[in-house]
A and B are shown apart, each in its own frame.
Chain A
């Protein structure tokens, strides 16, 4: 296990079916997640995020490779591993006929030390504004997800594995959730968070892994991944956009996506600014705005093949 790694995945692969119908859900995944970090695991539907998480939880078995959590094999030591983790599944399903309190009691009794866990569950439910006396079938989807979060967090696990946890939560609860995650990090605990809500990952994660078609395309810090080579540039001229400028910009190899509107021209630019500054010098530039790409745009850039990284 690498120093400080909580999750250590080596060559993990998962295929479904056999023969010509064989489908690779995850291919040769190498990944480590460090103690005390919030790791964002990004990818579109079908990228392999949930497969990775189900492998980590020993719900499915790998075709190749292995995974360790806390230095223990996720399969051989699954009971001990599960004792120290909390899990929130993407497709959360709970016992419909039972109330929140009954489910909390059940899960707490399986975990042992039910009294302490139930008390903490009550505190979490209060923070999330969740009524745990209602039966699951009477809860809205948002409240079901709150209950799922309570179940995942009520034993204060060392590692939280959360698969798309905030979908269906209102913005206020999402904010509370983000605060909870920050608190988790402050306590030196680790969070593995799968999401396609990039703004959320941008807001709370330390590092991000980007998954596509079952392959890990990149692992970077959020800061680094945001600091990519392209920027959006808006140039505002005092008068109209100089004649021929748009064509001129479109012909420049470092500039793409040029659009002109009245006195304003917007473009996506890679590399140094000097060629651009020379090109626009024909007009009177009133202002120039440089906008860093959002994580969503970086995300799309990865998927469109603009950026291939290790």
Chain B
């Protein structure tokens, strides 16, 4: 029946979604509570004395004015520097779409039922994508709780775009994980490749941001993390070409995964 795998996946995932969401929300809350501890103007003055290369490496662009606001502090301090952490949850979920079930053998039972492989994969993908929305909503709630608890002057609405921009980023990472897992089949190998992909992307982004006008900068363009720049999003709002890129690539990787999963043997 249509939707059975989707619902079951949600049932099996909601606890993890809550745990991850609470964990990340707690981090967001902590950053918000730290806001009153800093005099943003002094921080900006201090940052001005840093070489641009160093600032770029820590995700701060030339527009230091953003950083002088409370919203800018949270955007860069939390969203900008936690990109690797945000990538972990979608990797975990992406592995669950096919690799984990193949590795532990439950896919044999599931795929012996009257349901197409592609449908199983698509329903799981949608369920995990929905769980990411849940995680991001919890993060956003964490920001609100921080404001209330700390009495911090923070326009949380301005951070909505930075927060919800995480959804296409996380779905992209999950789609990439799923594709790699479908291609290599073995869970441990897939996990190794995905981990390398995320870490190398992080390195390319960091080096690329710091090395303007060099080859490294163009290498930074390869990294998916380059297209989630919290400072930029805060000042410009949703950057639709980037979002379209994440969504488009996610769809392509989903379709490629469905095709390959339909064609190949299910691992024992």
Contacts and interface: CB of A to CB of B under 8 A. Distances in A.
A109 interface: yes
Contacts of B7: 109
B113 A93 contact: no
Nearest to B103: A93
Given A61-B265, A110-B4, A79 B108 contact: no
Nearest to B115: A110
A22 to B, nearest CB: 15
B8 interface: yes
B104 A93 contact: yes
B112 A57 contact: yes
B188 interface: no
A114 B8 CA distance: 14
Contacts of A79: 114-116
B105 A89 contact: yes
B265 A87 contact: no
Contact of B109 (A60, A80, A87): A87
B12 interface: yes
Contact of A78 (B106, B108, B116): B116
A93 B109 contact: yes
Nearest to B7: A109
Q: How large is the interface on A (under 10, 10 to 19, 20 to 34, 35 or more residues)?
A: 20 to 34
Contacts of A78: 116
Contact of B112 (A82, A95, A97): A82
Contact of B113 (A80, A98, A111, A148): A111
Contacts of B5: 110
Contacts of B12: 95, 97-98
A110 B108 contact: no
B1 A109 contact: yes
A280 interface: no
Interface string B249-260: 000000000000
A216 interface: no
B221 interface: no
Given A59-B265, A60-B266, A110 B1 contact: yes
Contacts of B265: 59-61
Interface of A: 50, 54, 57-61, 78-80, 82-83, 85, 87, 89, 91-95, 97-98, 102, 106-107, 109-112, 114, 148, 151
5 contacts: A79-B115, A93-B108, A98-B12, A106-B4, A111-B1
Given A60-B265, A89-B112, A97-B12, 4 more contacts: A80-B114, A110-B4, A110-B5, A110-B110
